[in-house]
Chains A and B, each alone.
Chain A
Amino acid sequence: NAGVTQTPKFQVLKTGQSMTLQCAQDMNHNSMYWYRQDPGMGLRLIYYSASEGTTDKGEVPNGYNVSRLNKREFSLRLESAAPSQTSVYFCASSELASIQYFGAGTRLSVL
């Protein structure tokens, strides 16, 4: 069972470059989330999508955009990467406001 799949697993960018982090879930969940995790800061919510067709800002949305492509897929885009966006990014999904299941994460370094 795949669960929540994130790609890529690792990425190195130069300042100013753009990229999209992909997330797909096969659990037929309605809700999907993007978090970042930094040492000493814990998990912080960037954006979430309560259901297909809706997206909302979380705690730290600046510098990011999201797209809920369909029920399965929720992507996170960095338009102009900055060193402050060096982090581990986790995607999660849940059946509405229930238990969240996480992907394996994407480790991003911005130089």
Chain B
Amino acid sequence: RKEVEQDPGPFNVPEGATVAFNCTYSNSASQSFFWYRQDCRKEPKLLMSVYSSGNEDGRFTAQLNRASQYISLLIRDSKLSDSATYLCAVRGSGAGSYQLTFGKGTKLSVIP
């Protein structure tokens, strides 16, 4: 099993739709979790950190399920500007605590 796995998509959704992405991780000792957004030919940018209690930022909600070892990202009321690739990232523990392991990304296209 790969360390961090995501459905590559693409997810093609109409404006206003709700879309959810999942990301599974294999290391149960992982410490921190993040969602990054990457626009075409640009660098990844932090979208949000994922906390154990779940967290929300406007239309975006991130959740962590440690028991099943996955994190999720929910986008409500999708906008055209949400079209991008979404990367999940997982930080290891101990000697690996400085390293982020990224999923390969899920591509989202929001259609007018």
In the complex the two chains form, is A42's CB within 8 Å of B98's CB?
Answer: no
The answer, yes or no, to whether B79 is at the interface (CB within 8 Å) is no
The answer, yes or no, to whether B46 is at the interface (CB within 8 Å) is yes
The answer, yes or no, to whether B57 is at the interface (CB within 8 Å) is no
Nearest residue, chain A, Cβ from B6: A42
The answer, yes or no, to whether B104 is at the interface (CB within 8 Å) is yes
Those of B54-112 within 8 Å (CB) of chain A: 87, 89, 91, 97-105
The answer to whether A97 and B97 touch (CB under 8 A), given A41-B104, A43-B102, A102-B44, is: yes
Number of interface residues of B (CB under 8 A): 21
Total of A-B residue pairs, C-beta within 8 Å: 43
In the complex the two chains form, is B45's CB within 8 Å of A58's CB?
Answer: no
The complex places the Cα of A4 from the Cα of B90 at a distance, in Å, of: 21
Partner of A42, one of B32, B34, B97, B105: B105
Q: Please indicate the chain B residues that have their CB under 8 angstroms from the CB of A100 in the complex.
A: 46, 89, 100
Indicate with 1 or 0, residue by residue over A26-59, a CB within 8 angstroms of chain B CB atoms.
0000010100000011110100101000001010
Number of interface residues of A (CB under 8 A): 21
Nearest residue, chain A, Cβ from B49: A99
The answer, yes or no, to whether B1 is at the interface (CB within 8 Å) is no
Q: Please indicate the chain B residues that have their CB under 8 angstroms from the CB of A41 in the complex.
A: 104
Partner of B44, one of A43, A58, A97: A43
Partner of B43, one of A50, A56, A90: A90
New A-B pairs, 4, CB < 8 Å, besides A43-B87, A48-B99, A102-B44: A31-B98, A42-B104, A104-B43, A105-B43
